[in-house]
Every structure is written in C-alpha cells, then in structure tokens.
Structure 1
Amino acid sequence: MGVWLSYGLLGGLAIALLVAAVTDTRRRQIDNGLNLAIALAAPLFWWAQGLTLAAIGWQLGCTVGVFAVLAGLFAFGAMGGGDVKLLTALALWIKPMWFLHLLMVMGLAGGVLTVGLALWHVARRHKERPVVPYGIAIALGTFWVLAVDYLPLLHAGGPAG
C-alpha cells in the first residue's frame, strides 16, 4: 500500500511541477496555492514512506535551512518569491542529500535556460533584461531526483525515507 501511495503522491507532485513550470513560463509567477498544496501533501508522503520521527525532524530542519538561504537570495534580488516557496515546499519532500542533487541539476538546467533565453533576446533585439522562468529548471531538477533517486527504491520495495 505504501509503495502505491508513494507512486500516486509522486505522480501528483510531478503534475504540480508541470503546472508550476507552465505558469512560470506564461506569467512569470508560481501560484501560492500550488506551493501550499505541495507543502501540505508532504506529511502524507512521509507517512507513505514510513519516515521515523527523527527522519521527519531532519527533513523539517533542512527545510528551514533551505528557506533561510533562499530568503536571503530573494532579499538580494537573486531569486523570485515563487521560486523560494516552491523549493522550500520541495525540501519537505526530498531527502536532504538528494535535495543537493536537485539543486545541482536545477543549476545546470537554469544555466542552459538562461543562456538560451539571453540568445533569443539578442536575436530578437530585445533591449530589456530577460526574466528567466526558473520554475522550469526547478521542475527539471526535481524530475531528475524523482527518476534517479526515488523511483528505483520504490520499484525495489525499499524505503526511500
């Protein structure tokens, strides 16, 4: 039952990430309601994964740390508020070591996205600075972690928490 519930919740998370990427691309905004739904579903995922109270404590502690660092980046104008909230909500789902994988893939995808968008702006002779929909990079980083780290463990029936 836990494995199937985990798959269902991860599928719901994947859909939410697609919505975040699309809305960020279209409106340069990730809705608060979507971020809240992702955050509120995390405890159900913990339960499905069989996380211990100690593991949940680590998850929450790391989430607070992620929020503190990203809020600082937001204060300096280096990140958008929706990106901070989405990554904070995702930190509730993703094991701390695997969250580093997410950040690395997100950074690489974001770099490619930024360069591509900059080249497109130059080619179209846009004068303003391009606004990068980083929700795409966040989604790609999370999909990577789900595919590489979570799904093999779920398939094997082992605990992913």
Structure 2
Amino acid sequence: MTGRPGCRCTVKTSSVLAIGLLNGIPEDATALPVTLTALIVLTLYVADHPRLFARHRTRTLRLDSAHTDEDALRAHLAVLLGGRVVNLSVKNIDLVNDTTLVEVRYVVAATRAPVPSPDGTGGLAAATGALGSAREIATVTAGEAPEGGFGGGRP
C-alpha cells in the first residue's frame, strides 16, 4: 500500500509500521510501547478528524480551455469552485484540443454564491428556485416536461 508523498495512505502505512516496531520491543519495558502506541493513535485521530479540514476539497478537473498562465488558471479555478485555491498541479495541457487537466486543492468559502452557467440559465435559476420543485425535475427526467416549463430557462 504505497502512495504519493504526503498522501494520507502513506502516513497511515508509516504509522502502522511504527506501531509494529514499537510493539516489537522486549516485554520487560511494557509502559513505553503502550504509551507511544497510544500517542500515535491519538495523533492519527486528531489529524484525520473531519472537523480539522472540513472545508478543504481536492478535485481533478479537465477544463475546456488550455491555460498556460498559472495565475490566470488559479483565478479561474477560484471562481469556478467558489473558494480559495490552496494548491494546484497542472497534469496536462493539450493545446490541440484546448484542454487542461489540473489537480486542485481548495478551501470552500463559508457561503458560496452560485456560479451562472455559460447559457445564463443554470446556476442562477437554481439558486432562485426558478427551476421548479424536485417533483417537476423528476418528471422531466422521466421524459415529460411540465406544462409551461420551469421558468428561468430558454423557451
């Protein structure tokens, strides 16, 4: 079970190995291995607690434009994701197909404003409730549009 440096799976694997080595100490020193094992488990519990980084997210995105300027890419991702970009790693830039593959770590804003969709209907219409109820959306998913449409969309 290996992973990238800094990956949680690597940290947990290292902790398991440390606990195994600590408990391999001869039995005449029983308090030391138990104390150090408890300290490792407590550290893992605190560091891996969901409340510690509750608003942090990691995503791998394929953008439909080729970004060669990192500052412009960072600004675009901040608007797109609705948060502050902590770290980004460009995995691939395809200038022929005009795409960028990027892995981004960001912090979600406390209150996220809706991002309008390119056609001007999706994000803002959903935020204002103009799309209708869940029942109406399920009706459309089943293949039947409600009479008069949802509002906020194109006629």
TM-score normalised to structure 2 length: 0.29
TM-score normalised to structure 1 length: 0.28
Structure label with greater radius of gyration:
2
Q: Which has the higher contact order (CA 8 A, sep 6+)?
A: 1
